[in-house]
Amino acid sequence: MQSQTRLKGFNTRKVALTATFAAVYAVFRLIPISRAIGIPGSITAGGVILPVVALFLDLPYAVASVIIGTFIAAFAPWNPLRFLGLDFLPGVTYVTIAGLVLRGQRKLASAIFLVIILVFSVTPNTEIFVGQNLFSPPIPYYWLHIVALTILISPLTQRVPLLVKSANYAEIAKAVTIVAFVGTMAEHLTGGILFALVVGSGALKAWPLIFLFYPIERLIITVGAAAIGKPVIWNTRKIFNRLEPQTNPVTS
């Protein structure tokens, strides 16, 4: 009876945290970073908060919070659903990659990331070597995503679960930066797949311009995530450490 009461309490906490982070994610999705290219709306700051969501929620609950938050934010007139209701998929990809890395499952995260790159490569109306149209060397569109994948499979990412539990503020910042970078790059490429499928042949005109601006957008999201994530994690970890390991396996 006592164990059932305790389990019910944990489930209540998980649901409450999921709802809270869904609301927080919705707020960040309402903050524009830049105008979207080729479709209405803006690139938003949603990815800034996702490392924190991935850290403090078990993966299924983190995914649920992203889905719920996406649809809540879609009620704002300036933030409509653009991908036939599948707008949550990029955020889900981000939080999944981030959650796996934070829990020491970088091999699975790397495999998912590689699959995303391959899917983008064979999706109709995507373009790989857009640099040729810009009078530059044949640099692949996803050059920065390849950099992220390289970091993901490196020993540096292997240390993330230890870094995020560190008592050293700088090491927490490093962990959040790594997670945010690989997560936002996976998010971006997933969004690119949806963009190509929904917009169709019209997407071909947009890739050269996206190619020029997406590194800046992803840098803003990564820096923003590090700036917000490290103090949030630092100041709230003691509270979450009081929860059972199954509720918060990363920070226990």
pLDDT given at position 240: 55
Q: Enter the pTM of the model.
A: 0.89
Residue 102 pLDDT greater than 70, yes or no: yes
Mean pLDDT of the chain: 89
Domain extents for the chain? 2-240
Contacts of 118 (CB under 8 A, 6+ apart): none
**Which residues have CB under 8 Å from 77's CB, separation 6+?**
none
pLDDT at residue number 114? 98
What mean pLDDT do residues 94-120 have?
98
Largest pairwise CA distance in the chain:
71
Segment 177-209, tens digit of pLDDT: 999 999 999 999 999 999 999 999 999 999 989
Tens-place pLDDT, residues 57-82: 999 999 999 999 999 999 998 888 99
